[in-house]
Amino acid sequence: MDRYSFLEISAFIGIFLVLFLALFLFTVKTKYKLANCLLAFFLFACAVDALKFLMRDFPVNYINLEAFRWTINYLAPASFYLYALSICFSGFRLKPKHLLHVIPFAAFNLYLMTGIYFEDRAAKVSFINAMNQAPVMQFFYFLFEFLFQVYFIASFLAVRKAKTVYLENYTNPDISLLNALYRVTILYYALHFIVLLRWLVTFIFGLGEMRAWVVTLDGFAFLFCTCWYLFAALNNPEFFRGINSQFKPIADAVSKQKSPPAMDEEKNRQIESLKDFMIEKEPYLDSSLTIQDLAEQLKMPVKDLSALINLYMDKHFFDFVNEYRIEKAKEILKDPLQKELTILEILYKVGFNSKSSFSSSFKKYTGKTPTDFRKDPN
């Protein structure tokens, strides 16, 4: 099998998987329809771009379609960014202002209208041959790269913010979902650098053997990226679940200070009162407990409670509550009268809803797995 056959087979498999996943996302019935559609469109755009791996020659009989294929790239980074927002924040909705993301796509199509879409074949070919040297085309190359960097950096920041809000407001967030999205973002970002390498090699060495090998690497990376994402999606069936968009990071909710707030008698009293409440009322046994729920039970503003835990106690709400759950689990594991309870029963009993989350948290606080602790609680 020569290099070109390998490239074409890899590209064909990757495109098939991408389009199959996109079709599934478009048609599956779910309450997370917006996130599915945004991801499906992004995958479709990737598949359209990957068609270049199946072309050995320029499609002179379908010049308009090939030119339009180039323009789809200007929608891909924006669709991925909107997709990331739809995952991170449950209240995300498309609004008229989001049409601004379509402007580069529309502008590039307007440019191509002047030299390709409405011209005869000879004029089209002449325009394409001179296009790469045209200042306008150089601007659109730069614009695409600039937009790609901006959108993917914005996606990284959105995931990081969502993760912070999760830890500060929820007790059982499935951080693995956000971590998976973060890794997907990194993977597509890394894939783009192979594209940049291809452009650089083409600029320095031209359309030679070295560029052909970079194109082969690009095609294989596309297949790998597609298969990896499919694997990640199958391992995270609840991937499309976001946080309450009304929640903000505590750093945004309170004024920033150069040093931690000074502890005073009032704060000490509030902290002791909070600890007493947690021990006496055991609100942490509710697996869906959020900082809003706890604030309502304490009759305290959410902002004040969040500042008390995250700033004055220097803990995330996630860690604060799980400490009590782990202590409760330790009591049960030590109790000979409850030795018949399974680890799964115990984790549900103390407020966890995931065995992996319980095991990792238990080992973090005790240095042992729940099973090992039951055998040797000392």
> What DSSP line would sit under 25-59, residue for residue?
HHHS--TTHHHHHHHHHHHHHHHHHHGGGG-SS--
CA distances from 335 to 91, 282, 328, 351, 378 (A): 44, 18, 11, 18, 13
Percentage with pLDDT > 90 across the chain? 20
Any domain includes 210: yes
Contacts of 206 (CB under 8 A, 6+ apart): none
Read off the pTM: 0.70
Task: Please check whether residues 85 and 214 belong to one and the same domain.
Answer: yes
Q: Which pLDDT band holds residue 256 (cuts at 50, 70, 90)?
A: very low
Least confident of 243-252, 295-304, 338-347: 243-252
Task: Please check whether residues 103 and 166 belong to one and the same domain.
Answer: yes
Task: Please check whether residues 88 and 27 belong to one and the same domain.
Answer: yes
CA distances from 161 to 108, 154, 156, 303 (A): 33, 10, 9, 17
Whether 173 contacts 159, CB under 8 Å: no
Higher pLDDT, 235 or 123: 123
Q: Which pLDDT band holds residue 251 (cuts at 50, 70, 90)?
A: low
Q: How far apart are CA 253 and CA 169, in angstroms?
A: 13
Task: Please check whether residues 274 and 145 belong to one and the same domain.
Answer: no
- Tell me, what's the pLDDT at 314? 82
Any domain includes 242: no
Determine the average pLDDT of the residues in 354-375.
87
Closest CA to 261 of 300, 309, 209: 309
Task: Please check whether residues 58 and 164 belong to one and the same domain.
Answer: yes
Task: Please check whether residues 231 and 315 belong to one and the same domain.
Answer: no
Closest CA to 40 of 59, 24, 54: 24
pLDDT reading at 252 higher than 60: no
- Tell me, what's the pLDDT at 240? 41
Mean pLDDT over each residue of the chain, to the nearest integer: 80
Task: Please check whether residues 267 and 226 belong to one and the same domain.
Answer: no
Whether 154 contacts 242, CB under 8 Å: no
Q: How far apart are CA 351 and CA 284, in angstroms?
A: 6
How is residue 119 written in tokens? 């011209």
Question: 44: burial class by Cβ within 10 Å (0-12, 13-18, 19+)?
Answer: buried
Q: How far apart are CA 87 and CA 95, in angstroms?
A: 16
Q: Which pLDDT band holds residue 142 (cuts at 50, 70, 90)?
A: confident
Higher pLDDT, 6 or 320: 320
Structural domain boundaries enclosing 144: 3-235
Higher pLDDT, 247 or 24: 24
- Tell me, what's the pLDDT at 177? 64
Task: Please check whether residues 194 and 276 belong to one and the same domain.
Answer: no
Any domain includes 286: yes
Question: Domain with 34 in it: what CATH number?
Answer: 1.20.1070.10
Total tally of structural domains belonging to the chain: 2
Q: Which pLDDT band holds residue 259 (cuts at 50, 70, 90)?
A: very low
How is residue 378 written in tokens? 């000392």
- Tell me, what's the pLDDT at 245? 47
Which amino acid is it at 353? N
Query: What is the per-residue pLDDT across 263-286, written as a single tens digit (0 to 9) for each?
Result: 567 888 888 999 999 999 999 998
- Tell me, what's the pLDDT at 268? 84
Determine the average pLDDT of the residues in 220-231.
67
Task: Please check whether residues 229 and 328 belong to one and the same domain.
Answer: no
Q: How far apart are CA 183 and CA 188, in angstroms?
A: 9
Q: How far apart are CA 64 and CA 77, in angstroms?
A: 23
Question: Domain with 290 in it: what CATH number?
Answer: 1.10.10.60
Closest CA to 240 of 72, 84, 356: 84
Any domain includes 353: yes
Task: Please check whether residues 76 and 181 belong to one and the same domain.
Answer: yes
Determine the average pLDDT of the residues in 63-74.
92
Q: How far is CA 293 from the centre of its chain?
A: 27
Any domain includes 284: yes
Higher pLDDT, 26 or 41: 41
Contacts of 6 (CB under 8 A, 6+ apart): 216, 220
Any domain includes 243: no
Task: Please check whether residues 268 and 219 belong to one and the same domain.
Answer: no
Whether 30 contacts 66, CB under 8 Å: no
Any domain includes 244: no
pLDDT reading at 7 higher than 80: no
Task: Please check whether residues 97 and 212 belong to one and the same domain.
Answer: yes
Q: Which pLDDT band holds residue 183 (cuts at 50, 70, 90)?
A: confident
Higher pLDDT, 1 or 187: 187
Any domain includes 9: yes
Query: What is the per-residue pLDDT across 305-350, written as a single tens digit (0 to 9) for each?
Result: 888 888 888 888 888 898 999 999 999 999 888 888 899 899 989 9
